[in-house]
Structure 1
């Protein structure tokens, strides 16, 4: 990988320093969470990015690229694809930082959802061109309710409370699928169950979680 990675699109106007892929892959097993001080710093930086601060975007990249690369790699299964998606993630952050609401989601959760969504977009585009529509079943479910859990109307405390109402397996699967970027086939393999069973487990857990959030 070159020492510098070019951010796609001229609108950002600078080069992102790249993080070694070995370090990025090691980060995959770390939880999607951040200490309070680090969270507040990311909130501050994203506010600056929303105002057009390129150096703030660089700082966000340096603090989060390893974790987000891990999410992209889990979904795409390819280091090259993950690196390409990662650049798209930060271009999305540059364009949409003003939409981040610290009262509704932590910074790393918001960024993780963008990374997962962009990686899934890449797979769906390729599936639509190269394979029959049935193949799309193997791509992680981009259920709108799931993707919006942390960013479309519920604050962090309420989300954590509702996750706590799920059984341990359900909460673990929701976090793995929608925050850590693991696909349904990966989760089915990890748990040693058929893919339809895994989809059913996650669907039921999402229904219970949604019911709690809407109560």
Structure 2
């Protein structure tokens, strides 16, 4: 059983030290998951906070027989981020530019991903070498850190960083 799964079992028994340890262990990766959805640091931080409140309340619902703790945690944070994105879509925009950006409806986000820009991105990703694409997807879609990707792929950290850097440079050229 992973460290995260063991900590979730302790959190289910109201162990606050375990919640703090889980936050230290997973918060960077989970922030990446929220950033992938929201693309806004403050909103992503809110999603991580909201997610950890849910994790504290629902830790007993985690079943290690159904999947990895890390995947369950990612799902909780992703749903918290999607909730924030949906709430933003319900905000009423004003003409006052000092109040921030005009919100994007949640279903508009889906149509954007399915639209021309999403198709261009998918096309550019498909043109990348498998190693570059895999690193980018693990980092930006799954929210894994470079060390986590290196461990998952059983590769040196420098190799993973180079693959991701080269892949991002190729994506930038392709999308330009």
TM-score range, shorter chain: 0.5 to 0.7
Contact 2:11 2:56 in 1 (8 A): yes
Q: Which has the larger radius of gyration?
A: 2
Corresponding residue number in structure 1 for 2:32: 70
- After TM superposition, give the deviation of residue 117 of structure 1 in Å: 0.5
Q: What is the aligned partner in structure 2 of residue 138 from structure 1?
A: 108
Residue in structure 2 matched with residue 80 of structure 1 by the alignment: 42
In structure 1, which of residues 107, 110, 122 is the aligned counterpart of residue 84 of structure 2?
122
Match of 1:192 among 86, 110, 123: 123
Shift of 1:190: 2.1
Q: Deviations over 1:105-126 (max 9, x none)?
A: 1001001111111101001011
Question: Relative to structure 1, is the Cα distance of residues 140 and 61 closer, same or farther in structure 2, using a 3 angstrom cutoff?
Answer: farther
What's the offset of the Cα at 1:137? 1.9
Q: TM-score normalized by structure 2?
A: 0.57
Residues 78 and 111 of structure 1: CA distance in aligned 2, closer, same or farther (over 3 Å) = same
Q: What residue is the counterpart of 2:59 in the other structure?
A: 97
| Aligned counterparts of 1:189 and 1:53: Cα–Cα separation in 2 | 47
Q: Give, in whole Å, the separation in 2 of the partners of 1:184 and 1:48.
A: 41
| Structure with greater contact order relative to length (CA < 8 Å, sep ≥ 6) | 2
Give ranges in structure 1 of 5+ residues lacking alignment: 1-38, 142-182, 194-215
CA gap of 1:103–1:94, structure 2 versus 1, over 3 A, is same
When normalised by structure 1's length, the TM-score is 0.47
From the two aligned structures, give the one with the greater helix fraction. 2
Q: Distance in 2 between matches of 1:123 and 1:41?
A: 30
Structure 2, unpaired ranges of 5+: 94-103, 125-176
Count of residue pairs brought into register by the alignment: 113
